[in-house]
Amino acid sequence: MHRTQVSPRSPGRRRAVATVATLAVGALATIGMMAPASAGPPVDTSGDDGGAAPVAAPFAAAGEYTDRFLEMYDKIHDPANGYFSPQGIPYHAAETLMVEAPDYGHETTSEAYSFWLWLEASYGQVTGDWAPFNEAWDTLEANMIPTTENQPTNGAYNPADPATYAPEHDHPSQYPSELDADVSVGQDPIGAELRQTYGTSEVYGMHWLSDVDNIYGFGAAPGSSSLQGPDHPGPSYINTFQRGPQESVWETIPQPSIDDFSYGGPNGYLDLFTDDAAYAQQWKYTNAPDADARAVEAVYWAKQFAEAQGAGDQIADTVDKASKMGDYLRYSLFDKYFKEPGCESTSCPAGSGRSSAHYLLSWYYAWGGSLDTSGPWAWRIGSSHAHFGYQNPLAAHALSTDPDLVPASPTAQDDWSESLDRQVELFQWLQSAEGGIAGGATNSVGGDYSAHPAGAATFYGMVYDEDPVYEDPPSNQWIGMQGWGMERIAQLYHETGDPRAEEILEKWVPWVLSEITATDTTWAVPSTLSWSGQPDTWDPADPGSNAGLHVEVTDHGQDVGVAGALARTLIYWAAASGDQEAGDTARALLDAMWTQDSDAMGVATVETRTDYGRFDDEFTPGGDGVYVPPGWSGTYPNGDQIEPGVSFLDIRSFYQDDPMFPEVQEYLDGGDAPQFTYHRFWAQVAVATAMADYDRLLGDGVGEPDTQAPTAPTDLQVSGTTSSSVSLTWDAATDDVGVTGYEVLRDGEVVTRVSTTSYTETGLDPATAYEYTVRAYDAARNVSPSSSPVTATTDEGTTEPGGCSGELTVVNQWGGGFQATVGITAGSAAIGGWTATFDLAPASFVQGWNGQFSASGSSVTVSDVDWNGSLAAGASTEVGFTGSGTAPASVPVTCAAD
């Protein structure tokens, strides 16, 4: 049973604050956001919640910008403004006629949900009321994370054979893309671990796009394995982008995420995108990693706020769920087909273990499988393309250092620690001579692992890509990517004092400040960017100057969402660095938007939409328009025909009934371009939370630079050792402003920075003495004296093999077959390898993964492979296999350590 109804909240539940008088953006290809990318959700603030609700105590200092935040919060949650559906689901925008990344304003995205979490995190910080924050995650979980019924055959997923290769192509007219089983695909190194950690084969990640009102009529509902059709009230899982970098939203053909062939052609919509010998009814979902990472980021801050209020236990369950989401988000850190970085042909090495990891938040990860549970199969892919605007080093910091957010899987913390460094290095590599950050990198040139262009700059084997993933419009043309990406760098610097982040910001901030105007009568921020040259090939030991990489701001505009993101970036930077100009500019931007562009629904400006001339474009060979393969025909639930020659509008006839459409029709008939005042959810949240952040971080002004260092941490102790690890604890330091974090030094060298008063270092040598000290630092980069040193000696290692045990679990069954896993657990001592045996009589073995299998009749032997043989004492690994016949009720497993 899923929850969709948002419980009524009356304005009386927030802190009473006097109103201050005012003076006036497939699995086969891309799911890219196009600027402006997306919006967020509205919440019902009407109704009575059963009596007078207590007014929350004011946890944030009252201030003008806090008042503005609360006023915007009420507008976003006012049902009359239409940001939320009747079920309490946030729309991309309050308006319906809107075409950008979502092709309809009342669709929603995982991005919208992530901004909703940010909104409620700020609300909790201001009021101390954390119920709306938890409610936002519950709604997200119920409506954007597919249920068991939505992904019914995940149990058949084989991490040793994760997917079948299909190349991406430059233009939609080159689709459908032929599946090619002859191209080697690497092993998925985290699938078995996730299954063992959470006891399920299901993926805990958001699908990126939902048809909230079921306008298309598919009825691909949460909790269903079949399409419910037009009578379903919504929401409905759908997808659009599937056909390469030139497929703009104007050229997409929407399709249901559950394709049971009820609509479309004889094969549903599948043969528009993939060319196969035969087609099976199937489910498939695509994750937008930047949204899941932003959700984790919002939860990280909510945790800081709630714990400062003594209310951390109120959101503990939501924190646990964010940690779990971060575990699965690791799929975005791997190449699409798990090939090794540096790949230049389809015959390049298939990865094993972590060799296919690029450790960047790539453009998507995706998963799918058959609807037929009697013959189940499933697949998963990562992505080969990474855009700097999708990176979230703050989320990586949270997932690698915060004890409550570090995911439960044994290797997750190390993955996110590596990802944190790799993401920050990507920003360093892509910073232009002027300061702006260039596009990104790919491990699959052309989407088909083509050879690298001659002279192309590389980053850990990946090739520089000026416009990763999509080119209509170019993905790094929109200034919003600068705001989103650099906001996270600024947060990382504020929290940790990372000197690399500081260096990036010291160059980026002056560049962006020089392009911002904010006066009493007008304001403008950069809008469109033009790029030339390329970065130097990355050498972490000797980063280049990127003297040949340049950016130019070609025009300016009044995108309120971008302005909000830029203001937040400047606020975090000013709070951490004492940069007066940055703080003053952030305030001026917020004041200008508030006084010049406030309306009954929030903050918004007029937009002229010349791109709406593409509503009736028909396909031209090699050019724009909706491409439908010759001879292909199908229908939508409302009867709209899909066939060669159709336009965007032809397959979305519902737009002709939209009250805003007459202005578009007038433009199509030769009149002036339509002008609309849009209220995107994400943009409203960006401005509102910037208001809250200004009072929280700069409410008393930037002030004089902080020059006083924290006190030295005290009582540093060794709290535990193993043969390969040392655990440390210490008492907190103090500071006149506040301690930001701690540097842990081993033998005089900094090994990590943490925000807590404990740390465990792993990967050490046995029977070895190490000296540790700890020092504190604050947001102004003042560093304390070191603590008194302690010496820790790791335990003796053992060369004697320990014992091991095995347990067989049947995870899925169908007529004539089954799937099972075998968990191997080391005993009281570490082991260097293992072999397990078991008997499946009366059934027999078919195929296995994550181990070396052999079978004789019903007797099966499996031993480790190179990456899962060495297990620490008590550690576990898992292998899997399929069998023929009826699974035995109980199967003893004998395990021997090598």
Q: Give the CATH number, domain containing residue 618.
A: 4.10.870.10
The confidence score (pLDDT) of residue 14 equals 27
CB-side exposure of 574: number of CA atoms within 13 Å? 28
Per-residue pLDDT band at 62 (split at 50, 70, 90): low
Per-residue pLDDT band at 701 (split at 50, 70, 90): confident
The Cα 688–Cα 690 span in angstroms is: 5
Co-location of 653 and 691 in the same domain? no
Co-location of 670 and 682 in the same domain? no
Residue of 563, 553, 571 whose CA lies nearest to 605: 563
Q: Which residues, 6 or more positions from 871, have their beta carbon under 8 angstroms from its beta carbon?
A: 804, 824, 825, 826, 830, 831, 834, 877
**Residue 707 belongs to a domain:** no
Strands 804-814 and 844-849: unpaired
The confidence score (pLDDT) of residue 26 equals 32
pLDDT of 381 strictly over 90: yes
The Cα 402–Cα 413 span in angstroms is: 10
77 vs 45, 195, 688, CA distance in Å?
Answer: 5, 38, 12
Q: Among residues 793, 825, 847, which one ends one of the domains?
A: 793
Q: Among residues 730, 760, 793, which one ends one of the domains?
A: 793
For the chain, how many structural domains are there in total? 4
Token pair 């969402």 is found at: 561
The confidence score (pLDDT) of residue 704 equals 66
101 exposure class (CB count in 10 Å sphere: 0-12, 13-18, 19+): buried
pLDDT of 21 strictly over 70: no
Catalytic residue among 111, 425, 467, 498: 111
The Cα 872–Cα 804 span in angstroms is: 11
Co-location of 596 and 629 in the same domain? no
Q: Among residues 667, 702, 737, which one ends one of the domains?
A: 702
Determine if the peptide bond prior to 256 is cis (ω within 30°): no
**Residue 709 belongs to a domain:** no
**Residue 209 belongs to a domain:** yes
Tokens of 810: 């049947």
879 vs 364, 811, 835, 841, 864, CA distance in Å?
Answer: 26, 12, 12, 19, 9
The confidence score (pLDDT) of residue 703 equals 59
Per-residue pLDDT band at 628 (split at 50, 70, 90): very high
pLDDT of 9 strictly over 80: no
Tokens of 563: 């302005």
pLDDT of 568 strictly over 90: yes
Q: Is 290 a catalytic residue?
A: yes
Co-location of 301 and 341 in the same domain? yes
Instruction: Yes or no: say if 570 and 531 are a contact pair by the CB < 8 Å rule.
Output: no
pLDDT of 10 strictly over 70: no
Co-location of 638 and 557 in the same domain? no
Q: What is the CATH number of the domain that holds 888?
A: 2.60.40.290
**Residue 708 belongs to a domain:** no
**Residue 799 belongs to a domain:** no
Residues 720-777: tens digit of each pLDDT = 888 888 999 999 999 988 887 889 999 999 888 887 898 888 878 889 999 999 999 8
At residue 220, the 3 state secondary structure works out as: coil
- Residues found in the chain: 898
Q: What is the DSSP letter of 768?
A: -
pLDDT of 19 strictly over 50: no
Q: What is the CATH number of the domain that holds 83?
A: 1.50.10.10
- Higher confidence at residue 133 or residue 9? 133
The confidence score (pLDDT) of residue 801 equals 59
Instruction: Yes or no: say if 792 and 730 are a contact pair by the CB < 8 Å rule.
Output: no
Region 143-160: mean pLDDT is: 96
**Residue 580 belongs to a domain:** yes
Count of other CB atoms within 10 angstroms of residue 725: 16
User: Phi, psi at residue 807, to the nearest 5°?
Assistant: -140, 125
Residues 764-816: tens digit of each pLDDT = 888 999 999 999 988 677 899 999 999 999 988 644 457 999 999 887 777 77
User: Phi, psi at residue 286, to the nearest 5°?
Assistant: -125, 130
Of all residues in the chain, what percent carry a pLDDT higher than 70? 92
Co-location of 396 and 507 in the same domain? yes
Residue of 385, 161, 144 whose CA lies nearest to 287: 144
Co-location of 719 and 830 in the same domain? no
Name the strand (E) or helix (H) holding 555: strand 550-557
Instruction: Yes or no: say if 231 and 262 are a contact pair by the CB < 8 Å rule.
Output: no
Co-location of 418 and 558 in the same domain? yes
The Cα 811–Cα 326 span in angstroms is: 24
Catalytic residue among 202, 290, 327, 495: 290
- Higher confidence at residue 655 or residue 829? 655
Q: What is the DSSP letter of 13?
A: G
Strands 274-275 and 177-178: parallel
**Residue 355 belongs to a domain:** yes
Name beta bridge partners: 677. Answer: 606
The confidence score (pLDDT) of residue 730 equals 96
Co-location of 614 and 483 in the same domain? no
At residue 821, the 3 state secondary structure works out as: strand
The Cα 794–Cα 756 span in angstroms is: 23
Q: What angle (nearest 5°) sits at the alpha carbon of residue 198, between those of residues 195 and 200? A: 55
Co-location of 324 and 210 in the same domain? yes
Alpha helices in 497-606 (DSSP H): 499-513, 560-577, 580-597
pLDDT of 359 strictly over 60: yes
Name the strand (E) or helix (H) holding 720: strand 714-721
Instruction: Yes or no: say if 117 and 133 are a contact pair by the CB < 8 Å rule.
Output: yes
The Cα 768–Cα 764 span in angstroms is: 8
Helices 412-430 and 393-401 sit at what angle, rounded to 10 degrees?
A: 150
Tokens of 596: 């010049």
pLDDT of 612 strictly over 90: yes
Region 189-200: mean pLDDT is: 95
The Cα 156–Cα 119 span in angstroms is: 39
Count of other CB atoms within 10 angstroms of residue 756: 14
Q: What is the CATH number of the domain that holds 777?
A: 2.60.40.10
The confidence score (pLDDT) of residue 53 equals 30
The confidence score (pLDDT) of residue 318 equals 98
349 vs 191, 208, 352, 366, 398, CA distance in Å?
Answer: 20, 31, 9, 22, 33
Q: Is the dihedral of CA 465, 470, 471, 475 positive or negative?
A: negative
Instruction: Yes or no: say if 895 and 804 are a contact pair by the CB < 8 Å rule.
Output: yes
Region 579-596: mean pLDDT is: 98
The Cα 200–Cα 508 span in angstroms is: 44
**Residue 475 belongs to a domain:** yes
Residue of 94, 81, 123, 89 whose CA lies nearest to 109: 89
pLDDT of 611 strictly over 70: yes
Co-location of 781 and 827 in the same domain? no
CB-side exposure of 417: number of CA atoms within 13 Å? 15
Residue 718: which domain range? 714-793
Q: Is 467 a catalytic residue?
A: no
pLDDT of 51 strictly over 50: no
User: Phi, psi at residue 467, to the nearest 5°?
Assistant: -130, 80
Residue of 507, 483, 511, 496 whose CA lies nearest to 571: 483
Co-location of 344 and 359 in the same domain? yes
pTM: 0.82
